[in-house]
């Protein structure tokens, strides 16, 4: 194989993401929380699978990401890891598992790595969590940052509106991104900020910037699986492109099944022993 040829069967690593950025190849990232979905997503060729704390919303039905526990994140991560062969699997450290102190943060990250066999963790915040990020990195655990709209801080922000529109917040985001790169994060998710700001960060930093609602000038995109597949019908922000209407497909299938059961049309003789 020539050095210019992209090998899609090769395991994705944190180093490979940096190589992708440097050769201008966009990085695809999507959430997964269970074995069956993770297998489909991995076999489809996704670069990064995020076991996101959005599981709190789309799997558990909570209004925010705050209630999900470390044990629950590990349960989801273990299920995903059993399915994935190629993608890099990143797991969110949930709210309350790393903000207290860096020792607790490291213990949480170690539990995720040891019990799920995932390959990296993601953490929300910049300068305020520096010590925790550094301590986790010092144990050889790759860390992905998360800046801009950080859903674990919803009670501080009060809304899920676009972040960093004002100069002071934009400056803090740039400073935080520089800091996360400097201390050794391998990538940063930037959520719901003006496209121009995200592009500026992606241009300046050497590590990949993965956007969600952050425009096309970044190094890759991430979406929540239930949103992009149209399972989650009640969430329609401007940044979301729906690639399917699985809610519709599932409703039709379930209604057809109900009809067949009620009419006695299922099962037939061929479907019986």
Cis preceding linkage at 267, omega within 30: yes
- According to CB under 6 A, which one of 224, 229, 231, 246 is a site residue for ligand KIV? 224
Near ligand KIV by CB under 6 A, which window of 7-15, 38-46, 52-60, 263-271? 52-60
Residue 217 burial by CB count (10 A; 0-12/13-18/19+): exposed, middle or buried? Answer: middle
- β-strands 120-124, 143-148 pairing: parallel
Please name the residues in contact with 23: beta carbons below 8 A apart, sequence gap of 6 or more. Answer: none
* Active-site position among 191, 203, 204, 271: 191
Given the complex with ligand KIV, which of 8 and 53 has the nearer CB atom? 53
∠ CA 6-1-222, rounded to 5°: 10
Near ligand KIV by CB under 6 A, which window of 49-57, 73-81, 103-111, 234-242? 49-57
Cα–Cα distance between 229 and 220 in angstroms, integer? 19
Binding mask 171-190 vs ligand KIV (x if CB under 6 A, - otherwise)?
------------------x-
- By CB under 6 A, tell whether 212 contacts ligand KIV: yes
- According to CB under 6 A, which one of 53, 119, 176, 181 is a site residue for ligand KIV? 53
- According to CB under 6 A, which one of 27, 28, 42, 52 is a site residue for ligand KIV? 52
- By CB under 6 A, tell whether 222 contacts ligand KIV: yes
Other Cβ atoms closer than 10 A to 224: 22
- Give min distance, CB of 132 to ligand KIV, in A: 17
- By CB under 6 A, tell whether 92 contacts ligand KIV: yes
Given the complex with ligand KIV, which of 121 and 260 has the nearer CB atom? 121
Given the complex with ligand KIV, which of 133 and 212 has the nearer CB atom? 212
What are the beta bridge partners of residue 30?
49, 223
Please name the residues in contact with 254: beta carbons below 8 A apart, sequence gap of 6 or more. Answer: none
171: helix, strand or coil: helix
Q: What is the DSSP letter of 248?
A: H
Cα–Cα distance between 72 and 70 in angstroms, integer? 5
Given the complex with ligand KIV, which of 54 and 262 has the nearer CB atom? 54
Residue 191 a catalytic site member:
yes
Cα–Cα distance between 14 and 89 in angstroms, integer? 10
Residue of minimal Cβ distance to ligand KIV = 52
- By CB under 6 A, tell whether 112 contacts ligand KIV: no
Cα–Cα distance between 118 and 124 in angstroms, integer? 18
- By CB under 6 A, tell whether 54 contacts ligand KIV: yes
- Give min distance, CB of 262 to ligand KIV, in A: 38
Residues of the shown chain interacting with ligand KIV in the complex, contacts defined by CB under 6 A: 31, 50, 52-54, 92, 189, 212, 222, 224
């Amino acid at each position: 194989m020539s050095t210019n040829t992209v090998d899609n069967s090769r395991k994705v690593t944190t180093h490979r993401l940096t190589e992708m950025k440097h050769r201008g190849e966009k990085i695809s990232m999507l959430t997964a929380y269970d074995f069956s979905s993770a297998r489909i997503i991995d076999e489809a060729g996704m670069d990064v699978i995020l076991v996101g704390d959005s599981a709190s919303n789309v799997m558990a039905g909570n209004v925010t990401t705050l209630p999900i526990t470390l044990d629950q994140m590990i349960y989801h991560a273990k299920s995903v890891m059993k399915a994935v062969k190629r993608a890099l699997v990143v797991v969110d450290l949930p709210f309350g598992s790393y903000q207290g102190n860096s020792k607790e943060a490291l213990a949480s990250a170690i539990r995720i790595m040891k019990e799920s066999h995932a390959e990296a963790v993601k953490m929300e915040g910049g300068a305020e969590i520096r010590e925790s990020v550094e301590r986790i990195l010092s144990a050889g655990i790759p860390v992905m940052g998360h800046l801009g709209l950080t859903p674990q801080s919803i009670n501080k922000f009060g809304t899920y509106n676009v972040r960093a529109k004002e100069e002071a917040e934009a400056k803090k985001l740039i400073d935080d991104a520089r800091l996360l790169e400097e201390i050794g994060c391998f990538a940063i998710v930037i959520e719901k900020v003006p496209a121009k700001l995200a592009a500026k960060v992606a241009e300046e930093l050497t590590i990949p910037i993965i956007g969600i609602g952050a425009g096309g000038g970044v190094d890759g995109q991430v979406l929540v699986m239930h949103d992009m597949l149209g399972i989650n019908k009640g969430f329609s922000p401007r940044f979301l492109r729906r690639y399917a209407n699985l809610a519709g497909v599932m409703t039709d299938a379930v209604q057809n099944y109900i009809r067949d059961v009620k009419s006695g049309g299922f099962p037939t003789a061929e479907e019986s022993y």
